[in-house]
Each structure stands twice: as structure tokens, then as C-alpha cells.
């Protein structure tokens, strides 16, 4: 008989679940019926799949979505601070509309929502694993760099390159501005730094769901099967070298998150990390406070990683730096 695999070091017994608490309140017979009903409902939830039972799955999805919308609107309506804030924003917008300044607010909101939304979509891979930075952000940076090289300055409009459209004067050189020669890397970064920050902020927001799921499961005293499945497959003797390496790396990441908290989140999010979802799950499992987790994400993703990536692409897109790199490669690879 195969012996049961021991729990890893990070396994901790969760809080007593709701059913275990109910066992102290109800009679054994009633508790058994409640537990059986709970197991039946859990099996029903596990059987739901968009491929096997599409109609029922979509029905429950729409039902839950509608319930969340209704409860969200109801909870928002009953908060005085939210109602006052909404009324204040509407009053300010009406005042700006009367003075013909609402266009500035609308364009700013459109600009922010576009780049933040693309960052959020990048975290979930657009549903297909595609990276919205490669599709939208870095092509935008390329257009800015080429326009700067053509105009010789950064005094041109590039903020209307959102929602698949561009303004009439986007990326057009102004005739009344004297070219200043070659614009340095700092000037280019100032021109695209805001877009990069907003996109990085969106990627940070997109990392919240794995954390929230594990956090809510842990506080509710439930077994988090996604967390167990992700981290219990540590490298064993019957697995290959790659699996063993990944297991040891995940083990190190868990120890780092548990010991260093905010600093670990910043470190793990400040470079392209394909397994960062695991870090978010670990932070939720260890009940890291939300703002500690989110501030670390913003520092690592929006303030460090995206700007390091931007620096790399600026070097690749600038003609002078690209020519210098090619010249160096020709000299180095010459036989």
C-alpha cells in the first residue's frame, strides 16, 4: 500500500470550516444531512464546465453576474460617502460642460482607461496568452520614437493614440517649433513614461484575483485546492531535472514571501516573471494585507519593471543606438 505523501513545510491547518462549527450547534443527524447536502452541491459545482454543460454553466454565470451587479449597486447606494462623491463628480462635470472644458476631462479619462485597461488585459493574456504590451504599448513607443527622430523635438501630440483611433494632428510635426537636434533617452522617456506607468498599473491590478481567491479561501477556513495543486507538485525523485528545479524555485519563492513580505513582492514583480500568479496565491494564502501586496505590486510592476522594459525598447527603436549595436556586433562577429 502506497504511503501518504507528507505535507510540505508551508502547509498549515486552516481555520475550522463552517460545517465543523455547525457540528457543535446541530444534532449529529441534522449535521450529517447538512454535510451530505454540502458535498452534493460541491459535486454539482465541480461538474459545471463550458464544454460539458454549456447552457447550465452560462445560466449560473449570468445569474451570479446579475446578483453581483445588483448587490454592488445596492451596497454603493447605501454608502453616503459614495453618493456624495458621485453627486460631486456630476456637479463638477456639469460645470465643466457649461464652460466647454469637459473635452479635456473626457480625453484624460479615455487616455487613462485605455492604458490601464490594456494592462489589466495583459495580466490575463487577453484570454489567449497574448501580451497587450507587444500589441499596443511598444508599437506606440515606436511611433513616438520615429516621430521624435523626424521632428527633432518632442513637442507634438501623441495622447490621442487610444481606442484604435488617432487625432487629426497626432504624431504630426509642428512647423512653428525649431528642431533641437537629437533628443536624448531622457527626453524620449518623458514622452512615453506616463503611458508605461498606466499600463504597468493595469498589470498590477490584474494580479489581484489570484491573491483575492486564496485570501478569501484561507479566511473562510476552506481548503484551497488551486493553491495545493500549484505548490504540492514539488520536485521528487521520479521527476525530471526541470520539474525538480521548478519545485525548488517555488519552495524558495514561498519562503521569501512568508519571511520578507512587501520586499519579496517588489522583488518578484520587478522583472518578467511568468509564475507571478503563484506569488499572488502565496501572498493570499499567508494572509498578507491587501495594501501591502498591492503597493508592492505597483512599485515592482509600474515603477520598476515596465520602465526597465521601456529603456530596452527605446534603445532598440532609436536609430543612433541601434546603429551602434549593429556596428559592435559586426566588429565582434567578424571573422
pLDDT for 102-158, tens place per residue? 788 888 889 999 999 999 888 776 444 457 788 889 999 999 999 988 888 888 888
Instruction: In whole angstroms, give the CA distance from residue 70 to residue 76.
Output: 10
Please, which pLDDT band fits residue 223 given cuts at 50, 70 and 90?
low
Which of these ranges, 30-44, 85-99, 144-158, 319-333, has the smallest mean pLDDT? 30-44
Predicted pLDDT of residue 15: 42
Predicted pLDDT of residue 1: 46
Given a cut of 60, is residue 8 above it in pLDDT?
no
Instruction: In whole angstroms, give the CA distance from residue 198 to residue 181.
Output: 29
Predicted pLDDT of residue 39: 80
Averaged pLDDT of the chain: 79
Please, which pLDDT band fits residue 313 given cuts at 50, 70 and 90?
very high
Which of these ranges, 66-80, 228-242, 269-283, has the smallest mean pLDDT? 228-242
Above pLDDT 90, what percent of the chain? 14
201, 306 Cβ separation under 8 angstroms: no
Across the range 276-286, mean pLDDT stands at: 78
Given a cut of 80, is residue 225 above it in pLDDT?
no
Given a cut of 90, is residue 198 above it in pLDDT?
yes
Please, which pLDDT band fits residue 298 given cuts at 50, 70 and 90?
very high
Residue 216 CB coordination number (10 Å): 12
257, 264 Cβ separation under 8 angstroms: yes
CA distances from residue 4 to 7, 164, 223 in whole angstroms, order as listed: 9, 56, 18
Predicted pLDDT of residue 140: 92
- What are the tens digits of pLDDT across the range 54-75? 888 888 888 888 888 888 788 8
Angle at 278 between CA 274 and CA 281, to 5 degrees: 145
Predicted pLDDT of residue 237: 45
Across the range 19-28, mean pLDDT stands at: 65
Please, which pLDDT band fits residue 241 given cuts at 50, 70 and 90?
low
Predicted pLDDT of residue 127: 41
Instruction: In whole angstroms, give the CA distance from residue 31 to residue 37.
Output: 10
Predicted pLDDT of residue 129: 45
Given a cut of 50, is residue 235 above it in pLDDT?
no
Predicted pLDDT of residue 196: 93
250, 6 Cβ separation under 8 angstroms: no
207, 125 Cβ separation under 8 angstroms: no
Predicted pLDDT of residue 21: 60
Predicted pLDDT of residue 231: 57
Cell of 156: 507634438
Given a cut of 90, is residue 79 above it in pLDDT?
no
Radius of gyration for the chain, computed over Cα atoms and rounded to the nearest angstrom: 26
Q: Compare 139 and 12 and report the one with higher pLDDT.
A: 139
Please, which pLDDT band fits residue 283 given cuts at 50, 70 and 90?
confident
Amino acid at each position: 500500500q502506497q504511503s501518504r505523501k507528507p505535507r510540505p513545510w508551508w502547509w498549515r491547518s486552516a481555520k475550522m470550516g463552517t460545517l465543523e462549527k455547525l457540528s457543535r450547534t446541530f444534532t449529529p443527524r441534522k449535521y450529517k444531512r447538512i454535510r451530505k447536502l454540502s458535498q452534493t452541491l460541491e459535486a454539482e459545482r465541480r461538474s459545471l464546465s463550458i464544454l460539458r454543460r454549456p447552457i447550465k454553466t452560462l445560466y449560473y454565470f449570468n445569474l451570479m453576474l446579475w446578483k453581483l451587479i445588483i448587490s454592488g449597486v445596492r451596497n454603493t447606494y447605501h454608502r453616503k460617502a459614495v453618493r456624495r462623491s458621485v453627486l460631486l463628480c456630476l456637479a463638477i462635470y456639469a460645470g465643466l460642460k457649461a464652460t466647454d472644458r469637459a473635452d479635456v476631462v473626457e480625453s484624460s479619462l479615455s487616455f487613462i482607461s485605455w492604458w490601464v485597461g490594456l494592462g489589466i488585459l495583459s495580466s490575463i493574456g487577453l484570454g489567449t496568452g497574448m501580451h497587450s504590451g507587444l500589441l499596443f504599448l511598444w508599437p506606440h513607443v515606436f511611433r513616438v520614437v520615429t516621430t521624435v527622430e523626424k521632428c527633432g523635438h518632442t513637442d507634438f501630440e501623441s495622447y490621442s493614440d487610444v481606442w484604435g483611433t488617432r487625432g487629426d494632428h497626432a504624431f504630426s510635426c509642428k512647423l512653428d517649433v525649431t528642431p533641437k537636434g537629437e533628443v536624448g533617452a531622457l527626453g524620449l522617456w518623458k514622452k512615453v513614461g506616463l503611458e508605461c506607468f498606466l499600463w504597468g498599473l493595469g498589470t498590477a491590478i490584474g494580479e489581484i484575483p489570484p491573491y483575492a481567491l486564496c485570501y478569501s479561501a484561507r479566511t473562510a477556513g476552506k481548503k484551497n485546492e488551486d493553491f495545493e495543486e500549484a505548490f504540492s507538485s514539488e520536485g521528487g525523485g521520479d521527476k525530471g531535472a526541470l520539474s525538480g528545479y521548478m519545485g525548488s524555485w517555488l519552495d524558495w519563492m514561498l519562503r521569501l514571501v512568508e519571511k520578507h513580505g512587501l520586499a519579496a513582492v517588489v522583488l518578484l514583480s520587478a522583472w518578467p516573471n511568468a509564475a507571478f500568479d503563484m506569488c499572488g496565491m502565496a501572498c493570499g494564502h499567508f494572509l498578507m494585507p491587501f495594501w501591502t501586496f498591492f503597493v508592492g505590486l505597483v512599485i515592482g510592476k509600474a515603477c520598476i519593471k515596465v520602465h526597465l522594459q521601456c529603456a530596452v525598447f527605446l534603445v532598440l527603436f532609436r536609430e543612433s543606438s541601434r546603429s551602434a549595436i549593429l556596428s559592435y556586433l559586426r566588429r565582434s562577429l567578424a571573422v
